[in-house]
Amino acid sequence: MAVKEFQAESKRLLDMMVNSIYSQKEIFLRELISNASDAIDKMYYKSLTDDSISFDRDNFYIKITADQNNRLLKIEDTGIGMSEEELESNLGTIAKSGSLAFKKETEIKDGHDIIGQFGVGFYSAFMVADTVTVLTKSADSKEAFKWNSNGADGYTIEPADKKHTGTEVIIKLRENTEDENFDEFLDEHRIKTIIKKYSDFIRYPIKMDITVPKPKESTENEFEEIVEEQTVNSMVPIWRKNKSELKTEDYEAFYAEKHYGFDKPLKHLHLSVDGAVRYQAILFIPEQTPFDYYTKEFEKGLELYSNSVLIMEKSPDLLPDYFSFVKGMVDSEDLSLNISREMLQHDRQLQLIAKNIKNKIKNLLLSMVKDDRENYETFYRSFGRQLKFGVQMDFGAHKDDLKDLLLFYSSKEKKLVTLSEYISRMSENQNYIYYATGDSYDRIEKLPQTEMVLDKGYEILYLNEDIDEFAIKTLREYEGKEFKSVASGDLGFEEEEEKKSEKEEENNKELFEKMKDILGTRVKDVRASTRLKTHPVCLTAEGEVSIEMEKVLQSMPD
Ligand code: ADP
Ligand code: MG
């Protein structure tokens, strides 16, 4: 039988698993149970569109069996199974291609980061296994196949015997070493604890044969051990549970189980809406920017369930682009199960849910701005840029939703502030919200143009990201106060000063003419200014486009 090599990226991930010193090896069970559950979901979904398959809930389950004598652990499901080709393509190559590419070599060697927080999937079995065998029969086929691998040397696939549709993953556990104990994964109580911890909400029963003591008949203190099949998980999806029963850790565990991100979420929102549209949702505000977030590759979206059955992994229509960082899921009874992608887009229910969710996210973020500033700033460092893009998007159509979520660095507070906080500090005779642009706060602070405004005691917002000024220009004003660049010709408080400079100009006419001659087309005009204190000269922009914006515009590809 020919031994096949794993595709290159799979091999890397596998090596990492085989050599893993990761302490929480137990998560391999979470991964395999999650695959089993996915496979049953697919079977259920198929039964809805295929009359030849009937979905009898009782026939769908996951069963975990430990065989102490042979050091075998079996994870069995009655899901959709795999054909020979699927075995080849699903287990020989990494589904989420590129998932490793973004990680630095050093991180891969350590492995800790990836294994702990990222969906490593099927290969995680190799953290505990000498060999892994997959026996499977596809719902579309009468033949069964066996996939076998010890990790390092590749894998084999051969025909096999299996009666029922579904999959068995059989793990031959490694022998214990001085430092590591693998026996624990044969201990039924330990296994039960792991399942409870990570997979409690899986919607299908996870069954186990558990040995329980039972009083012997007609005796009082004598017990015998009997084996009893138990369902170990509660099967209630977390979003159907009562909020009061759940702790932050439960939501964090769900976030990790679902592979929503590598990080710990900063905030979660558990919604149970029962109005014109009915739905449940769990939404997360991540802490860190996903590696591909600001690239074309990033796909936004929420998981979409209809009556607890997953119908779409990433429904983009549920999230506006400016909230594309939100992770999570939505479950609605009002959605039809076999609705197509195209139909979903125009589905009125879905549109209502999307609108509702948008407002909930906005309010959550607003409440963070107010009451949880530290976390909000962490969030803002990761995703503030996207909010500013949002202001600009669609010709400013969303600016009212976003304007109170923006933070800018304040000359006065020396930290990030909201526009409303700025306004609240404005003195009566201040007419504008002043801002200055530059590469860094330090450099902005030293700009000659800021001098006069600061001297007046006015606060200046320091904009150091290229997108900032575009966002400000789109906003135009906040609560009736217009934005004004400190570099603009008219700072709005110069009437009496202007007269002074006109006089200066008269007196120095010849000098200015000469300077204009020398500078030629590089300047539009040379004028006397009263806005400078310690600097001899400054450049100002005349029109709508500031010097900083001009730089950005010039650096843009055509
Ligand atoms: P993921 O679950 O994220 O797709 P995995 O590495 O966990 O990645 O699994 C790879 C693929 O192998 C799955 O997408 C699925 O197609 C297939 N697979 C794994 N386990 C099973 C199973 N028990 N039944 C059917 N297919 C499975
Ligand atoms: Mg998986």
In sequence order, which residues have a C-beta less than 8 Å from that of residue 494 and are 6 or more positions away? 530, 531
* Angle value at C-alpha 129, between 126 and 135, nearest 5 degrees: 90
Nearest to 201 by CA among 169, 168, 241: 241
Q: In the prediction, which pLDDT does 545 show?
A: 59
The residue whose CA is least distant from atom 10 of ligand 1 is 90
Q: What is the 3-state secondary structure (H, E, C) of 278-319?
A: EEEEEEEECCCCCCCCCCCCCCCCEEEEECCEEEEEEEHHHC
Cα–Cα distance, 383 to 362 (Å, whole number):
14
CA nearest neighbour of 390 among 321, 325, 327, 326 = 321
Question: Cα of 206 to ligand 2 centre, how many Å?
Answer: 16
Query: 34 CA to middle of ligand 2, Å?
Result: 6
- pLDDT for res 434: 96
- Residues in CB range of 10: below 8 A, 6 or more apart: 92, 93, 94, 123
> Which residues fall in the annotated binding site for ATP?
31, 35, 77, 82, 90, 96-98, 117-122, 167, 341
What is the three-state SS of 501-529? Answer: HHHHHHHCHHHHHHHHHHHHHHCCCCCCC
What pLDDT is recorded for position 441? Answer: 92
**Whole-angstrom distance, CA of residue 480 vs CA of residue 95:** 52
Beta strands in 275-428 (DSSP E): 278-285, 302-306, 309-315, 327-332, 408-410, 416-417
CA 87 to chain centre: 29
- As a whole number of angstroms, the distance between CA 468 and CA 507 comes to 40
Separation CA 218–CA 197 (nearest Å) = 38
- Name the one residue in this structure whose structure tokens are 């691998």: 149
* Nearest alpha carbon, ligand 1 atom 17: 90
Q: What is the pLDDT along the chain (558 residues), one digit of tens a residue?
A: 789 998 887 888 788 788 877 777 888 998 899 899 989 988 988 888 788 877 777 889 999 999 999 999 999 999 999 999 999 989 987 655 444 544 555 455 555 445 544 456 898 899 999 999 999 999 999 999 999 999 888 999 999 999 999 999 999 999 999 988 999 999 999 999 999 888 887 889 999 999 888 888 777 778 888 999 999 998 888 999 999 999 999 999 899 888 898 889 999 999 999 988 899 999 999 999 998 899 998 999 999 887 776 777 889 999 999 999 999 999 998 876 555 666 666 788 899 999 999 999 999 999 999 999 999 999 999 999 999 999 999 999 999 999 999 999 999 999 999 999 999 999 888 999 999 999 999 999 888 889 889 988 999 999 999 899 999 999 999 999 999 999 887 787 755 455 666 667 777 778 878 888 888 877 777 777 766 667 777 677 655 556 666 666 666 555
Q: For the chain, how many residues are written?
A: 558
Pocket of ligand 1 (CB under 6 A): 31, 35-36, 38-39, 77, 79-82, 90-91, 95, 119, 121-122, 167
pLDDT at position 544, please?
54
Q: Which pTM was predicted?
A: 0.67
